Structure 1
Amino acid sequence: MHQRGTEIIEREQQTTAYPFSTTVVIPAYNEAHGIAAVVARVREMLPEAEILVVDDASSDATGAAAAAAGARVERHPANRGNGAAVKTGIRRATGEVVLLMDADGQMDPRYIPQILAGIANGYDMVVGARTRATQGDNLARRLGNRALDTLGSYLVETEVRDLTSGYRAMRRSVMLEFIHLLPNRYSYPTTSTLALLKGGYGVGFVSIEGQRRGGGQSGQKLFKNGVRFGLIILRMISLFAPLRVYFPVALGMFILGMTSWLLNIFLLEPTRGLYIPNSALLLFVGSIIIFMFGLLAEQIAALRFQRRDD
């Protein structure tokens, strides 16, 4: 059985005894300088857990350093992306629960007991949600993350927090139902959270203090991140609730078309009777086309989330 919806998980009683086995999956690319310390800190918190480092074809000694620190290592023969490494980790994990962490050392392992306690209490996924002030290393990124949270909440009709956080635990059997939806590069955190909520699974959130990177960002990187956020937004809309976006757009175009028509009848060209100007006609036709596309996209999206019979 699973719970539906989301909830903010308050401070749980911290314990290292859980009614499930755990695999900590750490996707890594060129992290030889710090991966051993990350593995050691995780091992200190979860001495009995499997620690699986997925080396995404690093050009340095990331895999060797992780193995020397006591982790099991799976290596990609070619660089496939962070999301692909996460998918490999989920598929190759032996634990009933998968805990995802980044390899850069910015995710504090002290929150692991709270996150896993949420799974023990019945959630199917628990996300380490950073506070607003630590969701990104600059104002633009923090505003972008907030916009994603707002859009995600609207699409799945329930509150979500910190959709871009990669610090999360999930039941492996549940995540395998949706693993084909995860992209190979970025936005797997956003996709996984919304996919489970759309599928009716329980998702909880633990408030954590994220560690911010130092230094500024170049204009080029800001532009790249802006494009990435735009693609994530389009992906979210197309995957999870297209009609909740298409319908308001279609309705707005219809209202504009009706306004144009009425202005033409009563103010601009009253002598022409019920004549429909080209602008209104285009808006009417456009609203119908967008609405029909929205219906089609909604049906396709629904097919992705049809439950498989056990």
Structure 2
Amino acid sequence: MVKKLSIIIPAYNEGNTIHFILDKVKSVQLIGGLEKEIIIVNDCSKDHTEEAIKSYITQNPDLNIQYYKHEINKGKGAALHTGISKAKGELVIIQDADLEYDPEEYNLLLKPILDGFADVVFGSRFMGGNAHRILFFWHSIGNNILTFVSNMFTNLNLSDMETCYKMFKTELIQKISLKENRFGFEPEVTAKIARIPNVRIYEVGISYYGRTYAEGKKIGWRDGFRALYCIVKYGLLKNS
């Protein structure tokens, strides 16, 4: 029986926005009466992220927040590895510390799992009628190419492999050996989840409130090439 959702938030230099996303996570009412476990992993931020997190925890003692810190910067993927290993809920979802994704939409991803249809749910920015900020043409082309190539290796028909919003049954994701420490996490976890026998993967449309680089967006073209490398690597090398 599902009782708790573990929400993993990797944070790097998000001192100015971390309290906004935590307020949103706090306010969302999960369907099925699920409890929330918030796991924040500070990946050795250079700004006031730690102070902001500790202040928020002090001001919200009723909220179940688990805080972990890397002593050296390891990358988003490494922060997710730490968070996944600490999760106590029956389900896990990934939540970026910025404001690009709306926690109110957790319930969209929860429904196929709670209804007994899915083991894993991806939140797609490219399907459905929800709000999407118009930003970079070449980023969208890059996302489409990466998803297309990933689908070739996994034999899935995802529309958005690179999405942040991925929800897993905890028992599945904790059994996977994950190695990518940066943005290669997305293609790696997709490839390895797809290889689980009889796994049921669903996709639902979500909103997307993207940031510009001036607003703090971190992913760049080098990460795109790394993602392509990871798609091929984990698609071809089944034991990697």
TM-score (norm 2): 0.83
2:154–2:194 contact (8 Å) kept in structure 1: yes
Higher helix share: 1
Match of 2:175, SS state, is helix
2:76–2:183 contact (8 Å) kept in structure 1: yes
Superposed CA offset, 1:120-149 (max 9, x none): 234221111102795983111100100111
Q: Distance in 1 between matches of 2:164 and 2:212?
A: 19
Match of 2:239 in 1: 303
Superposition pairs of residues 2-17 of structure 1, within 5 angstroms: none
Superposed CA offset, 1:74-128 (max 9, x none): 1111111111001100011111211110001111112111111122234221111
> Which structure: larger Rg?
1
Match of 2:153 in 1: 155
- Which 5+ residue runs of structure 2 have no aligned equivalent? none
Match of 1:233 in 2: 228
2:71 aligned to 73, 77, 82, which one?
77
Q: Distance in 1 between matches of 2:82 and 2:213?
A: 32
Match of 2:10, SS state, is strand
| C-alpha RMSD of matched pairs (Å) | 2.5
2:132–2:208 contact (8 Å) kept in structure 1: yes
Match of 2:168, SS state, is strand
Q: Distance in 1 between matches of 2:7 and 2:182?
A: 20
CA drift of 1:215 comes to: 6.7
Q: Distance in 1 between matches of 2:66 and 2:239?
A: 37
2:108 aligned to 114, 121, 131, which one?
114
- Which 5+ residue runs of structure 1 have no aligned equivalent? 1-17, 243-300, 305-310
2:91–2:168 contact (8 Å) kept in structure 1: yes
Match of 1:192 in 2: 189
1:149–1:162 contact (8 Å) kept in structure 2: yes
Match of 1:45 in 2: 28
Match of 2:92, SS state, is strand
1:196–1:202 contact (8 Å) kept in structure 2: no
Match of 2:99 in 1: 105
1:125 aligned to 107, 120, 129, which one?
120
Change in Cα spacing, 1:215 to 1:26, as seen in structure 2 (3 Å) is closer
Match of 1:247 in 2: none
2:191–2:234 contact (8 Å) kept in structure 1: no
2:123–2:165 contact (8 Å) kept in structure 1: yes
Q: How many residues align?
A: 222
